[in-house]
Homo-oligomer: A and B are copies of this chain.
Amino acid sequence: MHIVDIRETSVPLQGDIANALVNFSEHTVSLVAVESDVIRNGRAVTGIAFNSIGRFAQPGLLRERFIPRIMACKPGALLEDDGRAFSASKVHRAAMANEKPGGHGDRAAAVAALELAIWDLNAKLEDEPAYRTIARAAGRLPQVQPIPVYAAGGYYYPGDSLGRLRGELSRARDLGFVDYKIKIGGAPLAQDLQRVEAAVVFAGGGRHVSVDANGRFDLAAALQYADALRPMQLRWLEEMGDPLDYALHAELSRHYPHALATGENLFSTPDTVNLLRFAGLRPGLDILQMDAGLSYGLTEYLQTVAAMEAHGFDRRQLLPHGGHLINLHIVAGLGLGGCEVYPGVFQPFGGYAAGCMVSQGHALPTAAPGFGLEEKPELKEVIAGLLSRAQRGVS
């Protein structure tokens, strides 16, 4: 059993939205297909994955370094010792050959797309949903409970208004959500407070609303917003300062008694360990949001989860960034605390397949093999466009 071909394509995200720092209209995602030599029903069994949402596709890094290194491996070198599955950790190691320590940025997303495709491939070889493969590899029971999900959104739009925000929240409620996250920091404080208050009123209390500053604030602004927001007892305040400013987060956590969240812009276990050591995060209270799809994939993510637990955090305090099917399976397989969803935005990758959403703010992966990306209508065409004739079963 070996890897026959690896294809990749860059897919633009749809939408014209912005958070406090960036406009997403030029953001792209790398979709990859790892083709095995196993033929089933006339088609090559192929692992499909992508490098999460919110940064950039990595066609250059994939073609220059990571795909060639994997394709240069000898047959068998990338299999588990029993030869029955591909080894995600060996693929990770092969991709990272001759890479130096430190500098966990774009390359972490490029490697993640490839590594995650191995999990999709292994699950398809077992003809099971990926959360089962992931759970087994992590030594957990491959059972799944409905997963708490919340609707992330509340971006700043051209010609924005409270009416538009209420309409967005209302559409999310119609889809079954009860918890919501909206952006702050892209407007003056008074205007942001109006937005948050509207969301709290709509949602029926601060415990259903979290806010996300996308790392925009310095310490003074973070403390000012925290003071202003404190009476609302929000679900959490997210990325109030630069993701690497651990001292800011430590100071904020001394000052603000309710939950803080951060971690989505840390792309390695060493970076997360620094967050755990130096940022004053509180076990049992604060939320971590590292995203495997931006952080070298699941091999390293398992080490990140272990580091969290070694520092006294419960894995249910981990709610990964990136509202898409891959993270839904990872949350289900690892027993994490929940998952975000971006209803209607970041297409074609954002959100789940129709069969996943259940009522009252919970979702469940379907029984489709792998991550089930092929079930998502918005993704069907881009996946079909990426696949080779062998992968599509066309002779």
Contact = CB atoms under 8 A, between A and B. Distances in A.
Nearest to A58: B60
Chain A contact residues: helix, strand, loop or mixed: loop
A73 interface: no
A333 to B, nearest CB: 25
A329 interface: no
A133 B244 CA distance: 32
A266 B102 contact: yes
Interface of A: 21-24, 26-27, 54-61, 63-65, 98-108, 214-215, 242-247, 265-268, 270-271, 273-274, 277-278, 294
Given A104-B105, A105-B108, A99 B22 contact: yes
A55 B103 contact: yes
A214 B99 CA distance: 12
22 contacts: A22-B98, A24-B98, A55-B103, A56-B64, A56-B65, A59-B64, A60-B60, A100-B265, A101-B265, A102-B215, A102-B244, A103-B106, A103-B267, A103-B294, A104-B244, A105-B107, A105-B267, A244-B268, A244-B270, A244-B273, A244-B274, A278-B278
Given A64-B56, A244-B271, A246-B274, A103 B105 contact: yes
Given A22-B99, A56-B64, 14 more contacts: A100-B214, A101-B243, A101-B265, A102-B267, A103-B105, A103-B106, A103-B265, A103-B294, A105-B105, A105-B108, A244-B268, A244-B274, A245-B270, A245-B273
Contacts of A271: 244
